[in-house]
């Protein structure tokens, strides 16, 4: 008996991109974030929509986002998971496999090729791309804290770090997982966990990079700033050298 060959569908092309940026009173850092996103959007050949979600903002973040040409929506949740989800909901639930969703944070600046590299991974079959972050403003911490963070980051990378500041995924994968949960922190990690459990192809991408703020107090109570403070408080002088 001759068994007919079955064509295996290859990666589906990406027709457009939606980037969601949650922001809460980020008028100081939002301009740099949006400038970086515009620069990386220039490196791809498909339309890119930047969606800023203002979460209970009381500053000039709205006018900054509008002046930069971003789409703007608002929530009053004080919750980054709700804000991220609202951004993708505003883009439309009809977005499917040919739309690429990406997200970063208002205190972060993505690399010029941050989006281009995500789309290249998508062309190769990735459904989720988990990028990396570098840290700015280390002057707020001792050299020992920086050394400890960077050493732990390198050692733990093989197991996969997840950052809302550097994350992308196909729209149909996003909807299939149920999107971001209403978590005040850790919504990014939980999303990738559920996507992996459903069999999504995850690429851990060292070359998809966002520079994120090293400020001591961020907007998410258990977020990146809290992680740096925990490293500082657990550091015992003399226990390790820079």
pLDDT at 134: 86
Indicate the class that CATH gives domain 16-139+160-214. alpha beta
Distances (CA, A) of 165 to 5, 44, 94, 183: 43, 19, 24, 16
Spans of the chain, pLDDT less than 50: 1-8, 158, 216-217, 236, 238-242
pLDDT at 7: 41
pLDDT at 126: 96
pLDDT at 116: 98
Distances (CA, A) of 104 to 12, 34, 36, 161, 228: 24, 10, 11, 15, 19
CA dist., res. 242 & res. 220, Å (int): 28
pLDDT at 230: 60
pTM to 2 decimals? 0.83
Which of left, alpha, beta for 232 (phi over 0: left; psi -120 to 50: alpha)?
alpha
Residue 8 burial (CB < 10 Å; 0-12/13-18/19+)? exposed
At which residue do the structure tokens 């009053």 appear? 76
């Amino acid at each position: 008996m001759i068994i007919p060959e079955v064509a295996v569908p290859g990666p589906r092309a990406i027709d457009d991109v939606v980037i969601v940026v949650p922001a809460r009173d980020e008028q100081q850092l939002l301009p740099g974030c949006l400038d970086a996103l515009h620069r990386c959007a220039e490196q791809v050949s498909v339309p890119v929509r930047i969606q800023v979600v203002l979460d209970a903002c009381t500053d000039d973040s709205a006018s900054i986002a509008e002046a930069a040409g971003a789409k703007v929506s608002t929530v009053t949740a004080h919750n980054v998971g709700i804000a991220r989800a609202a951004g993708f909901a505003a883009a439309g639930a009809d977005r499917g496999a040919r739309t690429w969703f990406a997200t970063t944070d208002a205190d972060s600046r993505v690399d010029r090729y941050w989006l281009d590299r995500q789309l290249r991974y998508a062309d190769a079959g990735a459904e989720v791309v988990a990028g990396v972050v570098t840290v700015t403003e280390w002057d707020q911490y001792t050299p020992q804290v920086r050394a400890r963070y960077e050493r732990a980051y390198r050692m733990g990378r093989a197991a996969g770090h997840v950052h809302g500041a550097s994350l992308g995924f196909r729209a149909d994968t996003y909807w299939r997982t149920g999107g971001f949960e209403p978590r005040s922190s850790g919504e990014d990690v939980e999303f990738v966990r559920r996507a992996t459990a459903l069999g999504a192809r995850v690429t851990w991408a060292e070359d998809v990079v966002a520079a994120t703020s090293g400020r001591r107090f961020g907007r998410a109570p258990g977020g990146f700033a809290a992680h740096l403070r925990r490293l500082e408080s657990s550091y015992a002088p003399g226990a390790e050298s820079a």
